[in-house]
Every structure is written in structure tokens, then in C-alpha cells.
């Protein structure tokens, strides 16, 4: 005779955490590579570092692409982290959805601003 020890639970989103964990590590690695590239350019530059040097570092198209890829990675990294924090600590569903929406709007605004700064749109 089968014994029922409680309600049957249905597990959804298998490996959901693994995907997010991996995304956090990949985007962190991208940010680390970007930091090293900028740091090396600053270390091996000659003379005082002013606006012209900084503008020169980010003037080339490959550096603009790396910078924008890093900004996209940073935005995704922030989204995964904020979504997880909000899911863990904000229990009312309505409040959590409003906060998640505000985070998305903020991150999209930051990415739009980054496009404007990088390519002077």
C-alpha cells in the first residue's frame, strides 16, 4: 500500500540556476578582460593622462565594440543579480514585478546612454 507523505511537488525550470550561474561567470570574465585591456593601455601610455588620452583609448572601433559588449554584459550581469535578489527578498508579487520593471527600464536607459556616449548618436 502506497503512503502519501504530502502533496506532490512539480519542479519547473530545471537547470535555471545553472544557466544564471554560468551567465554571471561569463559576464564577469568579459568585464575582467575589458579592465585588463584598459589598464594595459593606461600603463603603457606616455605622458600625463588627460581627456585626450582617455578619448584616444576609446576612439578605435574595436575598443568601442569591446566597451559596448562589456556594457551589455554588465547590464545582463546586473539584471540576473537584481532579479535573484528581488525574487529572494521581495515577497509580494506586485511589488516584485514593479521593481523588476524599474530595473529593466534603468538598465535599458543606461545602455542607450552608453550608445550615445560611445558613438555620439
Ligand-binding annotation for 16, yes or no, is no
On the question of pLDDT at 3 being above 90, the answer is no
Helix (H) or strand (E) holding 104: helix 93-119
Dihedral angle sign, alpha carbons of residues 40, 44, 49, 50: negative
Domain range for residue 72?
60-120
Please indicate, yes or no, if residue 36 is contained in any of the structural domains.
Answer: no
Q: Residue 71 belongs to a domain with what CATH number?
A: 1.20.1300.10
Does the reported pTM lie above 0.85?
A: no
Please indicate, yes or no, if residue 68 is contained in any of the structural domains.
Answer: yes
Please indicate, yes or no, if residue 53 is contained in any of the structural domains.
Answer: no
On the question of pLDDT at 73 being above 70, the answer is yes
The Cα 2–Cα 113 span in angstroms is 61
Length of the chain: 121
Between 78 and 5, name the one with better pLDDT.
78
Please indicate, yes or no, if residue 110 is contained in any of the structural domains.
Answer: yes
pLDDT, residue 47, reads 87
Mean pLDDT score of the chain: 89
Ligand-binding annotation for 15, yes or no, is no
Between 111 and 15, name the one with better pLDDT.
111
pLDDT digits (tens, 9 = 90+) for 41-53: 999 988 898 999 9
pLDDT, residue 4, reads 64
Provide the terminal-to-terminal Cα distance of the chain, rounded to the nearest Å: 72
Please indicate, yes or no, if residue 8 is contained in any of the structural domains.
Answer: no
pLDDT digits (tens, 9 = 90+) for 81-108: 999 999 999 999 999 999 999 999 999 9
pLDDT, residue 17, reads 82
Amino acid at each position: 500500500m502506497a503512503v502519501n507523505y504530502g502533496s506532490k511537488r512539480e519542479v519547473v525550470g530545471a537547470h535555471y540556476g545553472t544557466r544564471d550561474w554560468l551567465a554571471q561567470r561569463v559576464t564577469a570574465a568579459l568585464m575582467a578582460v575589458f579592465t585588463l585591456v584598459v589598464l594595459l593601455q593606461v600603463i603603457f601610455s606616455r605622458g600625463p593622462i588627460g581627456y585626450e588620452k582617455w578619448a584616444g583609448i576609446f576612439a578605435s572601433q574595436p575598443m568601442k565594440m569591446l566597451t559596448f559588449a562589456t556594457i551589455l554584459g554588465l547590464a545582463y550581469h546586473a539584471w540576473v543579480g537584481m532579479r535573484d535578489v528581488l525574487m529572494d527578498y521581495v515577497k509580494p508579487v506586485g511589488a516584485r514585478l514593479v521593481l523588476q520593471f524599474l530595473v529593466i527600464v534603468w538598465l535599458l536607459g543606461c545602455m542607450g546612454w552608453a550608445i550615445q556616449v560611445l558613438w555620439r548618436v
